[in-house]
Amino acid sequence: MTTKITLEIQSGSFKGKKIFPPAPIQGHSNFTPSLLKKTIFSVIESEFLSGNIQKENAVFIDLFSASGQMGVEAVSRGIKRSILFELDAKRFQLLKKTISGFEGDFSLNHKDSFRALNKISLKDDEFPIFFLDPPYSFWKENKKIFDFCKEIEDLFKSFIILIQCPNEISRDGYEIKGKGNNRLLVRKV
């Protein structure tokens, strides 16, 4: 008998609710581990506490959503809304099913986030928090990811970029956080 893995919302109004992750691609599950998720939201929460960002103006933008767990966690913790991108058709169907079980402001996009970045519409008072957890294949040639981050910098005057990546990845201008098999690169502007 096999046990189906579930992901759990860690905090906020949806705390304890379960989400089913999509099937692995080429043997890689590629979901955000709970310790790294805690680190991600600690970074965000510290920005709220310092007054750099107002929670009611924050928009969490997950550019490779898969299960949607990060966007749901963000709304659960009081972030105004989540914009979720997923290109894979099967994963997008699971994402739609998952999000239908939660109340909140979610925008689902069955699009390539690389091509849709300039179509993200924010109000003047909204602050974008970009989260990237790209498929493992993207890290073989990571130039594409960092070129994409440069596009974010060119399009938005203030933002946070959070990148979940393998331990061996680093980048000038990004703070390194996290332990274990994954690390988090953080850029705040």
DSSP lists the bridge partners of residue 188 as 160
H/E element holding 132?
A: strand 127-132
Q: Share the mean pLDDT of the chain.
A: 90
Structure tokens that stand for 94 in this block: 């699971």
Mean pLDDT across the stretch 123-149? 88
Task: Identify the pLDDT of residue 29.
Answer: 62
Choose among 87, 42, 36: nearest CA to 62. 87
Domains and CATH numbers, the chain: 7-188 (3.40.50.150)
**Contacts of 26 by beta carbon, 8 Å cutoff, 6+ apart:** 136, 137
Contact 131, 32 (CB under 8 A): no
Confidence check: pLDDT of 126 > 90: yes
Percent of the chain with pLDDT over 90: 73
Q: First vs last Cα of the chain: how many Å apart?
A: 49
pLDDT in tens, 5-34: 788 999 999 999 999 888 776 655 667 888
The pLDDT-based confidence of 140 (bands split at 50, 70, 90) is confident
Q: What is the pTM of this model?
A: 0.92
The DSSP call for residue 56 is: G
H/E element holding 76?
A: helix 69-76
pLDDT in tens, 52-92: 999 999 999 999 999 999 999 999 999 999 999 999 999 99
